[in-house]
Amino acid sequence: MNKTSTKLQSENVYITYPLKNGGEVTAVEDFNLTVEEGEFVCIVGPSGCGKSTVLGAVAGFHDISYGSLYLDGKEITGAGRDRGVVFQDASLFPWRTALGNIIYGLEVAGVPKSERQKKGDELLELVGLNSFGSHYPNQLSGGMQQRVNVARALAIEPSLMLLDEPFGALDAQTREFMQLELLRIWKATKQTILFVTHDIAEAVYLSDHVVVMTARPGKLLEKVKIDLPRPRPLEIKRSKEFTEYEKYIWDLIVTEKQKNVV
Say how far residue 219 (Cα) sits from the centre of its chain: 18
- Interface with other proteins, residue 109, by CB under 8 A: yes
**Per CB under 8 A, which region of 25-33, 87-95, 113-121, 235-243 contacts other proteins?**
87-95
- Interface with other proteins, residue 62, by CB under 8 A: no
Cα–Cα distance between 198 and 179 in angstroms, integer? 14
Cα–Cα distance between 106 and 219 in angstroms, integer? 36
SS3 of 181-228: the string is HHHHHHHHHCCCEEEECCCHHHHHHHCCEEEEECCCCECEEEEEECCC
Cα–Cα distance between 194 and 166 in angstroms, integer? 12
Cα–Cα distance between 24 and 104 in angstroms, integer? 37
- Interface with other proteins, residue 61, by CB under 8 A: yes
Shorter beta-carbon distance to other proteins: residue 104 or 132:
104
- Interface with other proteins, residue 234, by CB under 8 A: no
- Of residues 148 through 177, those in contact with other proteins by CB under 8 A are 156
- Interface with other proteins, residue 122, by CB under 8 A: no
Of 138, 190, 227, 259, the one binding other proteins (CB under 8 A) is 138
Amino acid at 222: E
- Of residues 29 through 58, those in contact with other proteins by CB under 8 A are none
Shorter beta-carbon distance to other proteins: residue 57 or 224:
57
Shorter beta-carbon distance to other proteins: residue 96 or 216:
96
Of 30, 72, 107, 208, the one binding other proteins (CB under 8 A) is 107
- Interface with other proteins, residue 83, by CB under 8 A: yes
- Burial string for 101-122 (b: 16+ CB within 10 Å, else e) reads bbbbbbeeeebeeeebeebbee
| Least Å from the CB of residue 229 to other proteins | 34
**Per CB under 8 A, which region of 3-11, 75-83, 113-121, 245-253 contacts other proteins?**
75-83
Amino acid at 234: L
Of 104, 205, 242, 245, the one binding other proteins (CB under 8 A) is 104
- Burial string for 237-246 (b: 16+ CB within 10 Å, else e) reads beeeebeebb
Half-sphere exposure of 236 (CA within 13 A, CB side): 21
Which residues contact other proteins (rule: CB under 8 A)? 59-61, 79-81, 83, 85, 87, 89, 91, 93-97, 104-105, 107-109, 136-139, 156
